[in-house]
Amino acid sequence: MNNEDVVIVGAGVVGLTTAAALSRAGRRVLLLDPLGPGEGTSYGNAGHFATEQVFPLADPALLPRLPGMLLDPLGPFRIRLGYLLRALPWFGRFLLNMRAGARARNTEALRRLNEAALAQWGALLGEWGLESHLVREGSLLVFERTDEAKVQRILAQYLSQGVAARYLDRAALRALEPALSEAVQRGIWFTDTGHTPDPYALSLGIWQRLREQGARHRAVSVAAIEPGGTVVLEGGERLVAREVILCAGAHSKVLAAGVGHRLPLDTERGYHLMLPGHSGLTRPVSSYERSFIITPMAGGTRLAGTVEFAGLAAPMDPRRADILLTHGQALLPGLEGKGAERWMGYRPSLPDSLPVMGAAAPGVWFNFGHQHLGLTQAAVSGAWLADAVLQGQSAPLAPFSPRRFTGP
Ligand SMILES: Cc1cc2nc3c(=O)[nH]c(=O)nc-3n(C[C@H](O)[C@H](O)[C@H](O)COP(=O)(O)OP(=O)(O)OC[C@H]3O[C@@H](n4cnc5c(N)ncnc54)[C@H](O)[C@@H]3O)c2cc1C
């Protein structure tokens, strides 16, 4: 039996930032993941530091549209029929989180995380000489058909949460992003958000610095975690650590259950289409009506989005990636589909849109479930979780506690 200091299960962007915070505090870190660092869902996200997204997904305004949306195979929010029964408990809790009190609490918790997110990214990337991975040009939410009064109401909601945002009419939009199509009528500019030109390169950059500080990675899958800090690897080998931190994203559910937490974690599968050509955009552009995002990246243009409930095992539905090109061309007429690469990833989501962060059992901690915002929230989650580990208590993380589902 090996004795380790800190073992982190899962080397996605959340595992890596958690490792970074602990390594900067002088702890020795071992990452366990059958994939290489950053090769899971963190590989293909839209690269948007979406700090403006302080509203949980459980929104009562969704209700009238939900049944139609869920069953449309190419709609932005879909549930595969064969997965309906398994998803029902999650959706039951999702509906409960639409209640005003729950929504206000969840919004407040998300806002706290998002408010601190970019400062934490800046500190980590600055200290490690990786600043080029964070571009601070803000991002746009654009509208083709929604009238001005409604856009102003949406803007007011963001402003009421302290999100820095401003209204842009057609001329102002075109001045900022001349490549946008004439069909785009108005927009909201979130001035304090940012993006990364390559999410995978960002993870690799952090991993390289971690290695220089003595962190290790073993390409192995974890079969179980036990209270007291024991990790059982596939094949039966056992490791004992002072602290084990579970950061396996959408795959965390079974491992969490092993230490007594039956959590309503599911996956909102999402797709991207990576186009080799450049779009002419300088910042991410999301479409309100089409529910997808275009991000200018180092390797071309990434179109990303769509939510699909189908679990961890079902194969990808390539049509859901391909539909993104139709949407992309509506906003950017010159966009070329030749050489496009399809990809699917697993957003790890709880029905209240909050991650699970904090102490789980003696010697075991959780940091997963960052839904649509894992890139955005990775640095702040890593820093806050590391503080809790170093101080041996997670009271400041109460809104994110695993016990909010399972009781004390
Ligand atoms: C299409 C799409 C677009 C997105 N766009 C954005 C965006 O613009 N901005 C944003 O903030 N977020 C975005 N997200 C969400 C974001 O990508 C995720 O929230 C984030 O990547 C989750 O990171 P993670 O480290 O928790 O999970 P992952 O990156 O999935 O890492 C988990 C790791 O755990 C490993 N693992 C699993 N099981 C085991 C086991 N048994 N033993 C050991 N290791 C294990 C996996 O191999 C994996 O490497 C997007 C997601 C998708 C799908």
| Residue 70 pLDDT exceeds 90 | no
Average pLDDT over residues 16-29: 98
- Nearest 5°: the CA angle 166, 153, 74 is 95
Q: Ligand 1 atom closest to Cα of 43? A: 29
- CA dist., res. 141 & res. 184, Å (int): 10
> Which residues, listed in sequence order, are joined to residue 139 by a DSSP beta bridge?
190
| Residue 8 pLDDT exceeds 90 | yes
At 175, which helix (H) or strand (E)? helix 170-176
Give per-residue pLDDT as tens, 299-333.
Answer: 999 999 999 999 999 999 999 999 999 999 999 99
Read off the tokens for 184. 């785009």
Say which amino acid occupies 9: V
Give per-residue pLDDT as tens, 146-183.
Answer: 999 999 999 999 999 999 999 999 999 999 999 999 99
Question: Three-state DSSP class for 247?
Answer: coil
Per cent of the chain over pLDDT 70 is: 99
Question: Three-state DSSP class for 265?
Answer: coil
- Where in the chain are the domains? 1-54+97-134+197-263+351-408
User: If you take atom 33 of ligand 1, which residue's CA is the nearest one?
Assistant: 10
Phi, psi of 278 (to 5 degrees): -90, 150
Question: Three-state DSSP class for 303?
Answer: strand
Question: Three-state DSSP class for 143?
Answer: strand
Q: Is the dihedral of CA 390, 391, 396, 397 positive or negative?
A: positive
Ligand 1 centroid – CA 291 distance (Å):
20
Q: Ligand 1 atom closest to Cα of 14? A: 25
Q: Indicate the pLDDT class of residue 407, thresholds 50, 70 and 90.
A: low
Question: Three-state DSSP class for 326?
Answer: helix
Question: Three-state DSSP class for 126?
Answer: helix
pLDDT at 65: 80
Q: Ligand 1 atom closest to Cα of 367? A: 26
- CA dist., res. 261 & res. 189, Å (int): 40
Read off the tokens for 118. 């970019």
Residue 25's contacts (CB-CB under 8 Å, 6 or more residues apart) are 386, 390
| Residue 102 pLDDT exceeds 70 | yes
pLDDT at 73: 78
Neighbours of 80 (CB within 10 A): 18
Read off the tokens for 19. 């490792």
| Residue 2 pLDDT exceeds 70 | no
Residue 317's contacts (CB-CB under 8 Å, 6 or more residues apart) are 73, 308, 310
Closest alpha carbon to 141 in 277, 50, 78, 44:
50
Say which amino acid occupies 83: Y
pLDDT at 64: 85
Say which amino acid occupies 257: A
User: If you take atom 2 of ligand 1, which residue's CA is the nearest one?
Assistant: 45
CATH architecture label of 1-54+97-134+197-263+351-408: 3-Layer(bba) Sandwich (3.50)
User: If you take atom 51 of ligand 1, which residue's CA is the nearest one?
Assistant: 45
- Max CA distance (Å), the chain: 66
Residue to probe by mutation, ligand 1, list 16, 31, 42, most atoms within 8 Å of CB: 42
- Nearest 5°: the CA angle 248, 253, 258 is 105
Residue to probe by mutation, ligand 1, list 139, 251, 309, 316, most atoms within 8 Å of CB: 251
User: If you take atom 26 of ligand 1, which residue's CA is the nearest one?
Assistant: 249
Give per-residue pLDDT as tens, 361-372.
Answer: 999 999 999 999
Per cent of the chain over pLDDT 90 is: 91
Question: Three-state DSSP class for 124?
Answer: helix
| Residue 185 pLDDT exceeds 90 | yes
Find out whether the beta carbon of 42 lies less than 6 Å from any atom of ligand 1: yes
Question: Three-state DSSP class for 223?
Answer: strand
Q: Indicate the pLDDT class of residue 7, thresholds 50, 70 and 90.
A: very high
Ligand 1 centroid – CA 341 distance (Å):
19
| Residue 42 pLDDT exceeds 80 | yes
| Residue 134 pLDDT exceeds 90 | yes
Q: For 407, left (φ over 0), alpha (ψ -120 to 50), or beta?
A: left
Average pLDDT over residues 85-94: 94
Residue 220's contacts (CB-CB under 8 Å, 6 or more residues apart) are 32, 33, 34, 233, 234, 235
Give per-residue pLDDT as tens, 255-308.
Answer: 999 999 999 999 999 999 999 999 999 999 999 999 999 999 999 999 999 999
Q: Indicate the pLDDT class of residue 408, thresholds 50, 70 and 90.
A: low
Q: Is the dihedral of CA 387, 389, 393, 395 positive or negative?
A: positive
Average pLDDT over residues 381-405: 94
Angle between helix 100-127 and 13-24 (nearest 10)? 60
Q: Indicate the pLDDT class of residue 1, thresholds 50, 70 and 90.
A: low
